[in-house]
């Protein structure tokens, strides 16, 4: 009969792949940022993607794009959403999940600002909204990816993964449609947001697993 896995072994297994995958994704973000930061002009696919979206701009599409922009950034997306989710988790008596979610969201936003100032990439000239300094990476997309991955990790539901993926893709379309970012900015944001959520998960993996595990049934007394 096989022996049960000890707690230290389970901890090593649960932490190894988040650290590796999150670290690789962060390295890719830094490499992509260095590449785009050294270029005077955007890549061909960046320019072609933006040109295609600009040609199809209309009042009909402006409204949902602006709504997505509001929901995904600023005080609403960066502060209210993480705090609101954390409050719900605390009410549900999941304090470790609440702490993990807020920490991942805050760290993601902080790293985004650090990289924006580090790479100092100019935004597209066709921008339709007011935006802060630095185009790479997209803070809205990073925030969407962090929230989506963190919630999927916490809730462990397949529909959360699909909903989060759809939300993040819509955010990519919104930010590039509005001319706030080049397509490569949103790719960087996607990698960064997911990487932070997974990386921060590593030290909390065991606690989250225990927090969401059903209580153990009492041992039955044999007759």
Confidence of residue 23 (pLDDT cuts 50, 70, 90): confident
pLDDT score at 133: 84
Count the neighbouring beta carbons within 10 Å of the beta carbon of residue 203.
Answer: 15
Task: In whole angstroms, give the CA distance from residue 192 to residue 109.
Answer: 10
Which one is predicted more confidently, 12 or 152?
152
Angstrom CA distances, 143 to 28, 155, 209, stand at 18, 18, 24
Residue 178 has pLDDT above 90, yes or no: yes
For residue 87, is it within any domain? yes
Domain membership of residue 184 as a residue range? 62-210
CATH number at residue 162: 1.20.144.10
Query: What is the per-residue pLDDT across 127-139, written as a single tens digit (0 to 9) for each?
Result: 898 888 889 999 9
Task: In whole angstroms, give the CA distance from residue 112 to residue 213.
Answer: 33
For the chain, the domain total comes to: 1
Ordered DSSP codes for 170-199: HHHHHHHHTTSS-HHHHHHHHHHHHHHHHH
For residue 169, is it within any domain? yes
Looking at residues 152-179, what average pLDDT do you find?
Answer: 95
For residue 172, is it within any domain? yes
Q: What is the pTM of this model?
A: 0.87
For residue 135, is it within any domain? yes
Ordered DSSP codes for 7-42: HHHHHHHHHHHHHHHHHHHHHHHHHHHHHHHH-SS-
| DSSP-based helix, strand, coil % in the chain, nearest 5 | 75, 0, 25
Residue 79 has pLDDT above 70, yes or no: yes
For residue 91, is it within any domain? yes
For residue 3, is it within any domain? no
For residue 56, is it within any domain? no
For residue 85, is it within any domain? yes
Average pLDDT over the chain reads 87
Residue 70 has pLDDT above 70, yes or no: yes
pLDDT score at 137: 95
């Amino acid at each position: 009969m096989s022996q049960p896995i000890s707690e230290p072994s389970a901890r090593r297994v649960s932490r190894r792949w988040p650290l590796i995958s999150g670290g690789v994704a962060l390295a890719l973000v830094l490499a992509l940022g260095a590449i785009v930061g050294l270029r005077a002009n955007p890549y061909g696919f960046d320019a072609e993607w933006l040109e295609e979206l600009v040609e199809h701009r209309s009042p009909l599409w402006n409204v949902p794009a602006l709504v997505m922009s509001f929901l995904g950034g600023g005080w609403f997306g960066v502060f209210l959403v993480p705090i609101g989710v954390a409050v719900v988790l605390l009410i549900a008596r999941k304090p470790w999940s609440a702490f993990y979610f807020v920490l991942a969201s805050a760290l993601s936003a902080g790293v985004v600002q650090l990289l924006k100032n580090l790479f100092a990439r100019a935004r597209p000239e066709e921008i339709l909204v007011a935006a802060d300094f630095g185009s790479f990476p997209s803070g809205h997309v990073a925030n969407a990816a962090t929230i989506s991955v963190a919630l999927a990790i916490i809730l462990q539901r397949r529909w959360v993964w699909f909903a989060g993926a759809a939300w993040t893709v819509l955010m990519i379309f919104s930010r590039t449609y509005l001319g706030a970012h080049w397509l490569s900015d949103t790719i960087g944001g996607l990698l960064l947001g997911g990487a932070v959520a997974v990386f921060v998960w590593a030290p909390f993996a065991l606690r989250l697993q225990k927090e969401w595990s059903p209580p153990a049934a009492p041992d039955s007394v044999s007759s």
